Structure 1
């Protein structure tokens, strides 16, 4: 047995110690509350589409849970980010600072605004944007003109920055908010993976101009498909709601639309599921934290890797439990993935860097050496909250 196979077998053994011998998916939804009851209420009332009490209730519940003043429910997290960027002022031809290490939706939303992705590096603790490295880069590559940040090479406005809280772990928001202020760049948080995560006591998605959430089937809570925009600014929330509901001018019967809008409305059925899930989120988060502690104990004696913990001053939702392989063992990543998946325990690597995808290869970028290393080190392991009950 070679070293890679040996390490893979040890990892598989540790996973089994933590979650048992039965096969395990990467992340499954966890239904333990009023999901059936609320869905039946929608069916009985016939309000299954974008009109119904659960949409308003879900937005209100999100506001209470996250501490955001306003929440706008939409059809998915990518739509939320698209509209948040548009409302933040991103225009065609602008540049948006995006982590190279992220899910493709973060980069896609920039394209929906006809803007250009400008890829930036990550740091190794949070896996999110490296604020210190980015500040040095912006100091040397941009200039200020008319209160706008201008890329000295392309001449384009750098309009926004989108930090993404990778696998639910909060990024260095203090450093990034200072960059936002000092360089006149709007900050829109991609908190798709971090519902239930806190940065020094504040919920992720509430620290920037706006934040966005996802409720896909594999997220901490799910609406089947769905997302939300969070903000503390009434006018931004009002504009976001208007755009996501086809820009229809309110009227008792007339259909008038005052600009190009989007049919990004969340159906009542999905919102009902979300309301039931939010009622159980404290139990879900406790289970996911307990699962982290199980993995931490199971992997404590293994050399050559570590289980990713929450950054200092932060409280993570531990959306996806994550192993980080030592740099001298990154060549074993594929073998680890093959052996664990063949055994019925779903694992996956981090995403390919956005800068390496064909559609984004021509985009501007800074040095991405840390993000490149991280993408070869990271492996997600089974993370469903139900695993903590085995």
Structure 2
């Protein structure tokens, strides 16, 4: 059966010897804008393309303010800093995520708490969050404290896995009830919408990634999305070392970060944004083809969950068990089709093995079964 899967995927991509998991596509003004950037000599953190890229993302997502960063991980870190997450605090997130989510929490000196996901979204479960907060926490002096660790809980960070939106309205209602900041790790979900609203614009702050394997890329890069313009302007100030604007003096008024996206990367991003609608259309067409093929083959293909208009960044199949998963991975990768398992659960990694969790029933089930398959835009 897996031989037919390999043949089909290679046919979709024109029968190459090797099919990558997610390759970038440069079919527009990328070279033109890069040349303009080089000719201008403004190749670092100052230049017209940075501002233009931010404006394009604002217009597309509907956020009030977008702030470009060097990568998605430091965008996550800054989102936590802006949410007043400090050393000794706790942040609730999911164990089924890319490690940047947990690492950014650690950069603040805070501890992650890993709660279960839903099987259909692969993202943080509102039911698990509500159960944890109602049974394992208490409110004191206007703050939420973990009754087991004694630490203050400051924020909740769900992740829109593979571009499939989590149940944001339910999570937001719970966070509002408990006074917790809601930060969306939307690194994988540019072009995804939940109930008509772009992911990353529902919580207080959202974070995008433009790594080389994302739907659009700036080589490396990230973006902060804000519902509040003033907070966005403060974030932009912090990304440039908190330098007070002046023609020649170097005065800094708070602890800042060297997180500003270079103009070169933004030039690439502007060209990529121009083709985003086409990329998304072709990715959805690929997902439809996969859905039909795997359905006929008796293999479960991961569909977008209810209320999610997903970008299908990385397509995935759900196999019967860990043994089937490993056979699928071995046979495809041995025959020129790149596939990969979903991430190792964060609490299984040595640096996070001490962190508090719930039973993680769904996360464990998914870890044993989910495999990503080639998802590059077909041209």
**TM (normalized to structure 2)?**
0.97
- 1:103-125, CA deviations, whole angstroms, 9 ceiling, x for partnerless residues? 00000000111111111111100
Q: Which residue of 1 aligns with 2:89?
A: 94
Matched, 1:75 2:63: no
The answer (yes or no) to whether the contact 1:15–1:298 under 8 Å persists in 2 is no
State the shift of 1:137 in Å: 1.8
Q: Which residue of 1 aligns with 2:160?
A: 165
Matched, 1:56 2:67: no
Q: Which residue of 1 aligns with 2:369?
A: 377
- Counterpart selection for 1:205 from 188, 200, 206: 200
Aligned positions of 1:13-162 closer than 5 A: 13-16=7-10, 18-22=12-16, 23-162=18-157
The more displaced of 275-284 and 22-31 is 22-31
State the shift of 1:9 in Å: 3.0
Aligned positions of 1:1-390 closer than 5 A: 7-16=1-10, 18-22=12-16, 23-303=18-298, 305-326=299-320, 329-386=321-378, 389=379
Aligned length: 378
Paired with 2:367 and 2:14, the residues of 1 have a C-alpha distance of 28
The answer (yes or no) to whether the contact 2:159–2:186 under 8 Å persists in 1 is yes
The answer (yes or no) to whether the contact 1:91–1:113 under 8 Å persists in 2 is yes
1:253 match: secondary structure? coil
1:301 match: secondary structure? helix
State the shift of 1:382 in Å: 0.4
Q: Which residue of 2 aligns with 1:3?
A: none
- CA, structure 1 residues 289+310, in 2 after alignment: closer, same or farther (shift >3 Å)? same
- 1:260-303, CA deviations, whole angstroms, 9 ceiling, x for partnerless residues? 21101100000000000000000000010011111112212122
Paired with 2:171 and 2:319, the residues of 1 have a C-alpha distance of 27
**TM (normalized to structure 1)?**
0.95
Paired with 2:132 and 2:280, the residues of 1 have a C-alpha distance of 37
State the shift of 1:14 in Å: 4.1
State the shift of 1:17 in Å: 5.0
The answer (yes or no) to whether the contact 2:10–2:19 under 8 Å persists in 1 is no
RMSD, aligned CA: 1.1
The more displaced of 233-242 and 126-135 is 233-242
Gap regions ≥5 residues in structure 2: none
- 1:317-338, CA deviations, whole angstroms, 9 ceiling, x for partnerless residues? 0000110113xx3322112111
Paired with 1:251 and 1:146, the residues of 2 have a C-alpha distance of 42
Gap regions ≥5 residues in structure 1: 1-6
The answer (yes or no) to whether the contact 1:18–1:295 under 8 Å persists in 2 is no
Paired with 1:384 and 1:66, the residues of 2 have a C-alpha distance of 22
The answer (yes or no) to whether the contact 2:157–2:184 under 8 Å persists in 1 is yes
Paired with 2:328 and 2:254, the residues of 1 have a C-alpha distance of 51
State the shift of 1:136 in Å: 1.2
